[in-house]
A and B are shown apart, each in its own frame.
Chain A
Amino acid sequence: MSEKELGQKWDRCLADCAVKLGTGLGLGIVFSVVFFKRRTWPIVFGTGLGLGMAYSNCQNDLRSHYVLHSKVAKEE
């Protein structure tokens, strides 16, 4: 993986982390207000879910360069 590609992947990771954290926080707030009488734990849970999704995406993105991809030839 070239340094430029690695830098782009890290940029994507950070952007995705911000988006997922915000989404998790937002959905956590919605669920907390609508279902759980404005308790804190759904907000924390949602934020944690967002962070976990971002971590998983980042991990896949950084590993994808080293994963072998194969194509199955169609039988004619």
Chain B
Amino acid sequence: MILKQILTARFATKVTIAGGAIYVAYDSGLLGDGKEGSVTLGRAKAAIPPAVEEWVKYFGFELPATPKIEFSPLDAWNSGVQKSIHALSVAPSTVSDYTKQGLKYVKDLTK
């Protein structure tokens, strides 16, 4: 009897915890539309640095400063695409030039 009550109470606690987690996720817009999701991500990004600072103050140690990496993947990708396409576009004329040079060199050797 008591064991049954304990088991029921334990199950009820688990259901409450899981249900609460789902409700919190639903209420904060995490399970909604794409627009809500991006808004929530923006809010989270804005909330993290002050939260981290507060925790650092509370625990009393300093985090090392994040190094500023000046690398833009977008610029690197775009320049890579431009260079590849340019190389492809000049490839026929470059190959023909090199072939002519090679043939001329061989002709000069056989003279």
Contacts and interface: CB of A to CB of B under 8 A. Distances in A.
Contacts of B31: 20, 23, 53
Given A53-B31, A57-B33, A16 B38 contact: yes
A15 B38 contact: yes
A22 B38 CA distance: 13
For chain A, which range describes its interface: under 10, 10 to 19, 20 to 34, or 35 or more residues? 20 to 34
Contacts of A19: 30, 37-38, 40-41
Contact of A26 (B25, B33, B37, B40): B25
Given A18-B41, A35-B18, A12 B34 contact: yes
For chain B, which range describes its interface: under 10, 10 to 19, 20 to 34, or 35 or more residues? 10 to 19
Main secondary structure of the interface of A (DSSP, over half): helix
Interface centre among B34, B35, B38 (most CB of A within 10 A): B34
B67 to A, nearest CB: 23
Contact of B21 (A30, A60, A61): A30
A60 B25 CA distance: 21
Interface in B22-44: 22, 25, 30-31, 33-35, 37-38, 40-42
16 contacts: A11-B38, A12-B38, A13-B34, A15-B37, A15-B41, A15-B42, A16-B38, A19-B38, A19-B40, A19-B41, A26-B25, A30-B17, A30-B18, A35-B18, A58-B34, A61-B34
